Amino acid sequence: MRPPPVAVAPASLWPEITIVTDAALCFATWNINSIRARAHLVHDWLDRNPECTLLALQEIKCEEHQFPSSFAEAGLHVAILGQKAYNGVAFISRRPISVTMQGLPGVTDPASRYIEVECDGFRLGNLYLPNGNSGGDEGYARKIAFFDGLTERSRTLLAQKIPFAFIGDYNVCPTDADLAPGALSAQDALVRPETRSAFRRLLWTGLTDALRALHPSGPYYTFWDYQSAAFQRNSGIRIDHALLSPRAAERLKSVSIDRDERAREKCSDHVPVIIKLA
DNA sequence: ATGGCTATTGATAATAGA
């Protein structure tokens, strides 16, 4: 057991903020678009990224019992919230993890889209937000309802003074700088003003968009459509994000997007985003 | 305007993704 963090400065604007000495931590998020189709890519990636302690996966597209056993057999810790055919989120970790939540309070959508774990005193929420383009008004309402649930969850964790990150596929381009010209129509649920507003309401609970904190301008994409040679044309969008609690944000060292993964054979249409905390 | 890619399934055509 490691000792609890030692506070050396008083709380400021956010009650959770204190300057602390915590162990370094590296984690990543990756919408894998079927773990069964791409388990080998995940193993390869983990082998090449030994410093990454936790990997959050989205769209595993299987039930718990269908999740490849190779990860646990390799000595990795696994936490899964799955369902048949669609959605599904999971953690693969080099360190022990305990599940603190499955699904978000108040979110009635039965789809498997949120799992949260504790690891060495840090909390990680792994989310796959509804796309919102299908299912008409009801489908879009589920997207906004998920944002509301996540916003409430942020307030709860902040009130509990737990350092955390919400990582995953948010299915939102926060600003026009987060998509290539022409990559999406203006009516798309990923860029609708109501979607961006919901994202900002979540941010304004006191969270930090890790990539933009370190890279305020310029195009950074995490998804390229399989169609129309989108990757070759770099017609991408940034929809996979890491939002950090204040105490986590103070420790932010780097954010990197592993775009090389998009060039691999039979790859996912998303690439890993890696976050390092001091 | 359409199709274009890729995955899934009480498939082999439909649905969802983004």
DSSP A235-264: -EE--EEEEE-HHHHTTEEEEEE-GGGGGS
Q: Which domains does chain A have, with CATH numbers?
A: 25-277 (3.60.10.10)
Would you call A270 a catalytic residue per the annotation?
Answer: yes
Which parts of the protein come within 7 Å of strand B, by CB position?
A: A 31, 33-34, 36-37, 59, 61-62, 84-86, 130-131, 133-135, 139, 169, 171, 190, 223, 225-228, 237, 239, 266, 269-270
Task: Give the CA radius of gyration of chain A.
Answer: 18
Nucleotide B4 C1' to residue A226 CA (A): 9
Q: What is the pTM of this model?
A: 0.92
Contact A245, A277 (CB under 8 A): no
The answer to which of A11-15, A165-169, A220-224, A253-257 has the lowest mean pLDDT is: A11-15
Nucleotide B16 C1' to residue A130 CA (A): 11
Contacts of residue A26, Cβ cutoff 8 Å, sequence gap at least 6? A51, A52, A53, A274, A275, A276, A277
Would you call A221 a catalytic residue per the annotation?
Answer: no
pLDDT for A65-122, tens place per residue? 999 999 999 999 999 999 999 999 999 999 999 999 999 999 999 999 999 999 999 9
- The residue from A22, A169, A209, A240 that is catalytic is A169
pLDDT for A110-133, tens place per residue? 999 999 999 999 999 999 999 999
Phi, psi of A8 (to 5 degrees): -125, 5
Nucleotide B11 C1' to residue A64 CA (A): 22
